[in-house]
Structure 1
């Protein structure tokens, strides 16, 4: 039995309905999973093939149930390559979501602002990404039952979903940015020189996640929407030290706006 099948077989009997929407909730953004009605909560450590999340702000559990009338499966905390996990383990939950019935995935993260017009607390719709990790989760033999050898990434983030999100933001009076997310390995924050380089390359925000998950989501033909919470300005912009504590403080402040936006999007899916 494949490790995918083992995980699916463990999760499915606990569900009353198959989820159609997947949520990946980044640092400080796991509060959305607390809004799920009649939740089935499964710690990652119980699921075959899953590993433990070690980062503060990531609870490390699947939460499955109803949100805005939709059956969702939420990752309350994600895995990162910098934690020492294999990249195949980092993206494993995305593949399991697909096997559970998910068709659309919303990925969220806390990111540093590269664009100097941004401010901490802004929400940014991810228009596209730049993979600066030097890694790709599809390296190695391709399993044609999962997806094609050379997946198209010309629309990694669904244009239709982005338009829907912008409409919801306008209705709610949320000033929603839209920009390019740059994915790096971490765990150290970037240097001011690196941030200047990334700005020259067209980056608007930078983080240490999301890119591998989106590549695998597209490999499995999932529709993707991405939202970054600009938790701090990147190195060299405000000339102050960066810390994970600042990230958590900012995501706490923007919590209500983030919850309203994503729930508004879900209501219209």
Structure 2
């Protein structure tokens, strides 16, 4: 947070992610309000769907027409993305008549951000008007039936850092977003899951689409073979270093959320031989599947639009 003696609207330059534990207070209401006000003054449309683009998936925003682009570095008190494959900008626009905002670049705990900080943009997008959230990520496959290049529809998650007391909702509760205690039973909306699968069937991609449980770990190291075996034994199908804090905050806000994981590599279990996971492999797989993913997301957003009251689309 900025020094109180400075203008809170002054953009942060050369920002270094704070080294904060998950037990610090929540993001101050005033900071969220500054960001929200800044964006409202510069964006002419009210988004209905928010999209978080995972590693190498920033091209999803190219599908938008009437684009308005705002770089993270120009938004006062907004975090900065430091990871390759994350552009660091908000892209507002239209997709087949649906107003969308895309996050081209997300924030991770391994960058030094507290968990609440990684999910701050979800609160901002909620205040801007979104009702639906689509989160994407690159993930390692734990389920032996999954193949590299598959797309997993997330139907649940395991928040490993959350089991040790790190959670995006720790701290004073801001009642604008939701209550103190948030149920996560249907944080991945079942109707949206079914809708996503039906879209895949229509596109002829059903053979590459799975459903499964995503495990969130802090990173930045990839899992050891023993860790991979443990996560599989407790029911996880894929593992990654993002997304879950965003989904938890989205549930707190009452958003309807769908999560999609691109399986970019297969985890090695004890005794197995193979190349260790690396970020280059992740990006390479994303690039190879990018066209299908972008088309799928576009069709999914259009399908979501078809379920919405036309009057809502005109607001």
TM-score (norm 1): 0.97
Q: 2:280 matched to which residue of 1?
A: 245
Contact kept in structure 2, 1:49 and 1:89, CA below 8 Å: no
* Structure 2 partner of 1:225: 258
Q: How does 1:150-189 map to 2 (within 5 A)?
A: 150-174=181-205, 175=207, 176-189=209-222
How far off is 1:252 after superposition? 0.4
Match of 1:235 among 268, 272, 279: 268
Structure 2 partner of 1:118: 146
Q: How does 1:64-79 map to 2 (within 5 A)?
A: 64-79=92-107
Conservation of the 8 A alpha-carbon contact between 2:72 and 2:80: yes
Do 2:140 and 2:267's aligned partners in 1 also have CA atoms closer than 8 Å? Answer: yes
Q: Secondary structure at the match of 1:2?
A: helix
> Match for residue 33 of structure 2?
5
Instruction: Report the equivalent of 1:137.
Output: 168
Partner of 1:127: 155
CA distance in 2, matches of 1:147, 1:230: 33
Distance 2:268 2:282 in 1: 13
Name the CA distance, whole Å, in 2 between partners of 1:168 and 1:25: 19
Q: How many Å separate the matches in 2 of 1:4 and 1:20?
A: 19
SS in structure 1 of the partner of residue 41 of structure 2 = helix
Give the Cα separation in 1 of the matches to 2:178 and 2:109. 22
Is 1:255 the counterpart of 2:290? The answer is yes
**CA separation of 1:253/1:192 partners in 2, compared to 1, >3 Å: closer, same or farther?**
same
What residue in structure 1 maps to residue 50 of structure 2? 22
Tell me the alpha carbon deviations over residues 154-178 of structure 1, each in whole angstroms, 9 at most, x when there is no partner: 1110001001101100000112111
Conserved? CA contact 1:125–1:179, under 8 Å: yes
* Higher Cα radius of gyration: 2
For 2:148 and 2:141, how far apart are their aligned partners in 1?
A: 7
Q: Secondary structure at the match of 2:287?
A: helix
CA distance in 2, matches of 1:15, 1:143: 25
Report the equivalent of 2:114: 86
Say if 2:116 and 2:167, in contact at 8 Å, map to a contact too.
no
Q: After superposition, where does 1:195-206 map in structure 2 within 5 Å?
A: 195-206=228-239
Asked whether the 8 Å contact 2:53–2:135 carries over to 1, the reply is: yes
In the alignment, structure 1 segments of 5+ residues that lack a partner are none
The CA deviation at 1:216 is 0.4
Of residues 95-104 and 137-146 in structure 1, the stretch that sits farther from structure 2 once superposed is 137-146
Q: Does structure 1 residue 148 correspond to structure 2 residue 179?
A: yes
- Unpaired runs of at least 5, structure 2: 1-28, 305-315
Task: Report the Cα offset of residue 238 of structure 1.
Answer: 5.4
CA shift for structure 1 position 143: 1.8
Q: Distance in 2 between matches of 1:70 and 1:173?
A: 24
Moved more, 230-239 or 31-40: 230-239
Count residues with an aligned counterpart: 269
The answer to whether the 8 A contact 2:150-2:262 is kept is: yes
Give the match's secondary structure for 2:146.
coil
Instruction: Quote the Cα distance in structure 1 between the aligned partners of 2:62 and 2:273.
Output: 34
| Distance (whole Å) between structure 2 residues aligned to residue 87 and residue 156 of structure 1 | 18
